[in-house]
Amino acid sequence: MRLALGCQFQFELPRPTPMIARLRIHQSRLADLESPDQLRTDPPVPLQAFHDDFGNSCTRFVAPAGRFGIEVAAVIRNSGLPDPTHPDCPGTPVEDLPEAVLGYLLGSRYCDTDLLAPIAWARFGTRPGGQALVQEICDYVQAQIRFDYLQARATRTAAQAHAEGVGVCRDFAHLAITLCRCMNIPARYCTGYLSEIGTATPDAPGDFAAWIEVWLDGDWRLFDPRNNVPRIGRVLVARGRDAADVAMVHSFGLHQLTSFQVRTEPLQ
């Protein structure tokens, strides 16, 4: 299947402002693009491309004062199959984990493991590890948090989402990541496009989705605590420890977001 992807941002800026955008498709999916997903700005400015420490495709530029727009569009080939599942996938003891994944056991900006460790161990400490434990954590997160787009808050941590019982997909992801890390399972945050193929009418305007990857049986495995079922048409843009590492547009100065649109549609 083919998916038309894209996003548009409009800003008002009081002065020239440096920015970094993470809006291009992750390098792991570049072979699936029918043509390069070029980032364009209005007005045009010089662009500098680079990859951050997590392998995400980034674009660096200085936006001028006044109205400023950013746009990315692409067509990508997707399998048309639901997300893979991982039945009976075992975990790995901490002492046998590769050094490259150990950092994903630690707390981070939105994943406050120190606050949630007692809750995690009380609830999951006697459970078998591996895929079964991660799925139980995702089930718990979905039952614990009520999705409400109108109550999104950029500063909400995993512990706050757990206490408040409400949030959006990033909050589901942060809580699941934190509980996994508390149980010595490396986990990282993912964001990208997710189509509505095979689902009912979406309950929020078009937006980027958040999900997680956990280290099981020698590889990173995808889980989606927000939807908690395999989905069709998922396209990765960026990975990191949590949402702080994968801001779609990071502004080094004051700005006002005046418009934001995301497109993920199947093509004939």
Q: What is the mean pLDDT of the chain?
A: 95
Q: What pLDDT does residue 199 have?
A: 80
CA separation for the pair 244, 259 (Å, rounded): 21
pLDDT per residue over 19-63, tens digit each? 999 999 999 999 999 988 989 999 999 999 999 999 999 999 999
CB count within 10 Å of CB 50 equals 10
pLDDT per residue over 136-178, tens digit each? 999 999 999 999 999 999 999 999 999 999 999 999 999 999 9
CA separation for the pair 51, 58 (Å, rounded): 6
Q: What pLDDT does residue 198 have?
A: 81
Q: Quick one: pLDDT band at residue 75, thresholds 50, 70, 90?
A: very high
Q: Which residue has the higher pLDDT, 197 or 224?
A: 224
Q: What pLDDT does residue 86 have?
A: 85
Q: What pLDDT does residue 204 have?
A: 57
CA separation for the pair 102, 231 (Å, rounded): 29
Distances (CA, A) of 268 to 6, 11, 72, 78: 17, 33, 21, 13
Q: What pLDDT does residue 206 have?
A: 67
CB count within 10 Å of CB 99 equals 6
pLDDT per residue over 211-262, tens digit each? 999 999 999 999 999 999 999 999 999 999 999 999 999 999 999 999 999 9
Pairing of strands 2-13, 66-77: antiparallel
Q: What is the mean pLDDT of residues 75-97?
A: 93
Q: What is the mean pLDDT of residues 187-200?
A: 91
Strand spans (E) along 37-175: 39-42, 48-51, 57-63, 66-77, 146-147, 166-167
Q: What is the mean pLDDT of residues 107-117?
A: 97
pLDDT > 70: percent of the chain:
97
In contact, 244 and 108? CB cutoff 8 Å: yes
Q: What is the mean pLDDT of residues 9-18?
A: 98
Q: What pLDDT does residue 197 have?
A: 87
- What is the identity of the amino acid at 80? G
Q: What pLDDT does residue 93 have?
A: 94
Phi-psi region of 92 (alpha: psi -120 to 50; beta: other; left: phi over 0): beta
CA–CA–CA angle 143, 146, 147 (5° rounding): 125
Q: Give the SS3 label for residue 119.
A: helix
Side by side, the strands of the sheet bearing 209-216 are 219-223, 209-216, 187-194, 234-240
Task: Provide φ and ψ at 154, rounded to 5°.
Answer: -65, -20
Q: What pLDDT does residue 55 have?
A: 94
150 burial type by CB count under 10 A (0-12 exposed, 13-18 middle, 19+ buried): exposed
Please determine, for residue 201, whether its predicted confidence score (pLDDT) is greater than 80.
no
CA separation for the pair 246, 214 (Å, rounded): 17
